[in-house]
């Protein structure tokens, strides 16, 4: 297991910070399925006691991102396809209403900042910085929810999407995938800006379907990572 030594913000509670850092590494596959998370090592690397580490691992276990074997080990879980499909259903259901709501809204002041995010993603793709590309992808969808005034639903989606997000990280480096994401984002935003609610929903539906449509190929390439 490799976890970079991290200086936590001592003005904040430790457990949420440990959780966020470990979750980021699990989603990015820096901590791949099967990686062992040794509590003693984590205590040293984060500079905290056992309690924040335990609380962070329990929270990750609630999301299905780690498997805790009492008195033995904590291991990063395989990608669960059933959980990924449920997360996809939830995300699609919420975001279809989000883009429709935004397309029918008179105030379109939120559009320009989202176009800036897409331009930033294009620069990240040119630099082949897939980690930053994926993070900006998440930020764009979060800002869509915030613009629709349902940011709490994005928090719910995120808490259920760990398996889906890891599947998408495996798919992202495939040639043409990142460019396809950029094209989809542009179509979604163009439809919203034009007040085309049906077009925005259709573009979003196509955008969210890409990874699960390729799940057999992904599973064949990464058989040790994917379960189900």
For residues 162 and 209, membership in a common domain is answered with yes
| pLDDT for the residue numbered 4 | 60
| pLDDT for the residue numbered 3 | 47
Q: What is the DSSP string of 10-32?
A: TTS-HHHHHHHHHHHHHHTTSS-
For residues 21 and 60, membership in a common domain is answered with yes
For residues 223 and 114, membership in a common domain is answered with yes
Q: Is 174 contained in some domain? A: yes
Q: Is 152 helix (H, G, I), strand (E, B) or coil?
A: helix
For residues 34 and 73, membership in a common domain is answered with yes
For residues 44 and 108, membership in a common domain is answered with no
| Residue 176, number of CB atoms within 10 A of its CB | 8
| pLDDT for the residue numbered 220 | 93
For residues 222 and 118, membership in a common domain is answered with yes
pLDDT per residue, tens digit, the chain (228 aa), is: 444 678 888 888 999 999 999 999 999 999 999 999 999 999 999 999 999 999 999 999 999 999 999 888 899 999 999 999 999 999 999 999 999 999 999 999 999 999 999 999 999 999 999 999 999 999 999 999 999 999 999 999 999 999 999 999 999 999 999 999 999 999 999 999 999 999 999 999 999 988 898 999 999 999 999 988
For residues 114 and 169, membership in a common domain is answered with yes
| Nearest alpha-carbon partner for 133 in 147, 149, 117, 146 | 117
CATH (domain of 181): 1.20.120.530
| pLDDT for the residue numbered 6 | 81
Q: What share of the chain is helix, strand, coil (3-state, %, to 5)?
A: 65, 5, 25
Q: For residue 109, what is the DSSP state? A: T
């Amino acid at each position: 297991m490799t976890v970079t030594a991290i200086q936590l913000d001592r003005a904040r509670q430790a457990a949420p910070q440990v959780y966020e850092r470990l979750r980021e590494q699990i989603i990015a596959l820096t901590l791949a399925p099967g990686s062992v998370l040794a509590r003693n090592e984590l205590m040293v690397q984060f500079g905290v006691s056992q309690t924040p580490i335990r609380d962070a691992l329990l929270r990750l276990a609630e999301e299905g991102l780690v498997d805790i074997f009492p008195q033995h080990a904590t291991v990063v879980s395989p990608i669960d396809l059933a959980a990924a499909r449920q997360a996809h259903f939830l995300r699609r259901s919420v975001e279809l209403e989000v883009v429709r709501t935004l397309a029918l809204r008179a105030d379109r002041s939120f559009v320009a900042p989202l176009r800036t995010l897409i331009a930033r993603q294009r620069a990240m793709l040119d630099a082949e910085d897939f980690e930053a590309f994926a993070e900006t992808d998440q930020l764009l969808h979060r800002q869509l929810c915030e613009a629709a005034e349902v940011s709490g639903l994005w928090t719910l989606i995120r808490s259920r999407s760990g398996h889906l997000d890891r599947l998408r990280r495996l798919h992202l480096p495939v040639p043409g995938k990142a460019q396809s994401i950029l094209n989809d984002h542009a179509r979604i935003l163009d439809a919203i800006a034009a007040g085309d609610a049906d077009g925005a929903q259709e573009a979003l539906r196509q955008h969210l379907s890409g990874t699960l449509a390729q799940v057999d190929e992904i599973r064949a390439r990464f058989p040790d990572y994917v379960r189900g």
